[in-house]
Amino acid sequence: MPGIIELRKALADKMNSCYDCAIQPDSEITITSGATEAIFTTIQAFIKSGDEVITIEPAYDSYVPSVLLAGGKIKSVQLRAPDYKIDWQAIRLTISDRTKMIILNSPHNPSGQILNYRDLK
């Protein structure tokens, strides 16, 4: 189920050589059939009833149903035209003691906004 070991070993070797890390192919790499499956599986693994997940709207269409299926609650922060930058103050105000996850992706889907160094920091 985690994917064929030869592929996981090749990915671990690549990561280890490019980033000087020690990724273990047997325990730290899982192959999925696509990003949507990986996102769904991650949400199902970490989100439980009552947990809050912050999404950046507009958001990829699989986030909300995946969170709701896990019993979580969506808290959204809206991107604003024309630059579609993330309002980090709005994120700070949205975080609560129930926040378990913030879903970010870059480039953002569907706006295409790319997170910069300051955003990542």
82/111 Cα distance (integer angstroms): 10
**Residue 57 pLDDT:** 92
DSSP E strands in 26-93: the ranges are 52-57, 73-78
pLDDT in tens, the chain (121 residues): 889 999 999 999 999 999 999 999 999 999 999 999 999 999 999 999 999 999 999 999 999 999 999 999 999 999 888 888 899 999 999 999 999 999 998 888 888 888 889 888 8
Place of tokens 């906004």: 113
Say yes or no: 113 and 64 in one domain: yes
Say yes or no: 18 and 77 in one domain: no
Domain housing 26: 1-31
pTM of the prediction?
0.82
Distance linking the first and last C-alpha atoms of the chain: 34
Say yes or no: 45 and 93 in one domain: yes
Say yes or no: 16 and 70 in one domain: no
**Residue 38 pLDDT:** 93
Say yes or no: 48 and 93 in one domain: yes
> Which tokens is 65 given?
């149903």
**Residue 89 pLDDT:** 96
12/25 Cα distance (integer angstroms): 6
Domain count of the chain? Answer: 2
Say yes or no: 40 and 27 in one domain: no
7/30 Cα distance (integer angstroms): 10
Calculate the dihedral angle through the C-alpha atoms of 75, 81, 83, 85, rounding to the nearest 10 degrees. Answer: -10
**Residue 83 pLDDT:** 83
CATH number at residue 44: 3.40.640.10
